Structure 1
Amino acid sequence: MDAIVKSFPGKEDQPRPTQAEAEEAVRTLLRWVGDDITREGLVDTPKRVVKAYKELFSGYDQSVEDELGRTFEEVAGYDDIVLVKDIPFFSHCEHHMVPIIGKAHVAYLPDGKVLGLSKIARVVEIFGRRLQIQETLTAQVAHAIDDALHPRGVAVMIEAEHMCMAMRGIQKQGSTTVTTTFTGAFKSDPHEQVRFMTMLRGRG
């Protein structure tokens, strides 16, 4: 619970419903869409949905600060771009609670210390497993690494398909949304942005 309060100031004033209350909310939605909650296929659905939501939104119970707490300084003077690309992720749109599916590309310029590579993927996963909009997710990943590592710069690009566009509303399948956030040298020096994009597209 401490991790939740740390990541979400004021959330301690919003106590969580019980599992029984959450399951009853699912039954209400099932009745609202017009189905029969007593039929065999739906009897255990509320319990399954609550269990699935606990996993899908596990990012609320995880602390990015704790995940990024350990860094390494034995880098033999390495100070060039560290890029982890094609990190698969899924999230859920905070407006419609339907999936966002995509991949993230994260780079930084070290300033005397580095992160374990798996930590970068974990940051994407933790923020992804919360209700999101893609713009916020992109900025959160960049600023979390910036705050923890204090590198010379961070670059994040996220490419994703939003099911709220594919399954409802305009119903356009296959469209991709691209967002970027740059900090430090990546923001101030166009040459570093070009190097990031070149490495990302595999041409360098």
Structure 2
Amino acid sequence: MEFTLNGKKGYAKVESYDDETTNELSSNYKNVLELLGEDSSREGLEKTPLRVAKAMQFLTQGYNMNPEEIIKSAMFKEDYQQMVVVKDIELYSMCEHHMLPFFGKAHVAYIPRHHITGLSKLARVVEAFARRLQVQERLTTQIKECIQETLNPLGVAVVIEAQHMCMQMRGVQKQHSFTTTSDFTGAFSTNHSTREEFFSIIKAR
């Protein structure tokens, strides 16, 4: 939100959090710090429980989003029946097994039957499902199913390429590994040339 102070323009950070949830999370994170052997009252950590409480609500805000309604908010009748591809959609999510981030890109395509949706809505659907505790496999399928069930296109394709901090920072500690998942419906499942065209498009740089 823009504001003017002493004749100078600036921006105010606007965020909204549930006070009860924030307080409870903050209290729990304070306990976590102390269980780890830290002094939660020292200067550097004094406000950390509150910051983490707000951060976690931001990182999991997808629970409060309705992906189907996102698509329906910009859904239009159109006779176009060729492939629509939005590639390189940045995504950031949290692994539900260790609550560590995984991040990467999603590539989403569909072939309209009678309706199209705003291009930004496909990215928002990715965001709505990614901003939850997730596994990459489920995330891929949820995006696919949401688009298929809401738009009823001739086919949907979703590919996600991501790096997982639970593999890079702990456990096997392989810093350069990528995980790729894919899921398809309709023409992308049954027509080899259609699927190959999709892969050719997302590989092009």
The answer to whether the superposition gives a TM-score over 0.5 is yes
- Give the Cα separation in 1 of the matches to 2:66 and 2:30: 31
Aligned length: 186
CA-CA distance at 1:19 after TM superposition: 2.5
1:158-197 to structure 2, matched below 5 A, reads: 158-197=160-199
1:85 partner letter: K
> Which residue of structure 1 lines up, in the alignment, with residue 49 of structure 2?
46
Structure 2's unaligned 5+ residue stretches are 1-19
> Which residue of structure 2 lines up, in the alignment, with residue 72 of structure 1?
76
> Which residue of structure 2 lines up, in the alignment, with residue 144 of structure 1?
146
CA-CA distance at 1:78 after TM superposition: 1.9
CA RMSD of aligned residues (A): 1.4
TM-score, normalised via structure 2 length:
0.87
> Which residue of structure 2 lines up, in the alignment, with residue 95 of structure 1?
97
1:93 partner letter: C
CA-CA distance at 1:133 after TM superposition: 0.3
* Structure number with higher strand proportion: 2
- Give the Cα separation in 1 of the matches to 2:113 and 2:162: 30
2:173 partner letter: Q
Structure 1's unaligned 5+ residue stretches are 1-16
Identity rate, percent: 49
Which deviations, in whole Å up to 9, do the C-alpha atoms of 1:98-117 show, x marking residues without a partner? 00010000000111211100
- Give the Cα separation in 2 of the matches to 1:174 and 1:123: 28
Contact 2:95 2:133 in 1 (8 A): yes
1:2-21 to structure 2, matched below 5 A, reads: 18-21=21-24
> Which residue of structure 2 lines up, in the alignment, with residue 7 of structure 1?
none
Which deviations, in whole Å up to 9, do the C-alpha atoms of 1:168-197 show, x marking residues without a partner? 001110210000000011111111111111
Contact 2:22 2:54 in 1 (8 A): no
CA-CA distance at 1:90 after TM superposition: 0.4
CA-CA distance at 1:161 after TM superposition: 0.1
TM-score, normalised via structure 1 length:
0.88
> Which residue of structure 2 lines up, in the alignment, with residue 37 of structure 1?
40
Q: Where do 4+ consecutive residues of structure 1 move more than 6 Å? A: none
CA-CA distance at 1:155 after TM superposition: 0.2
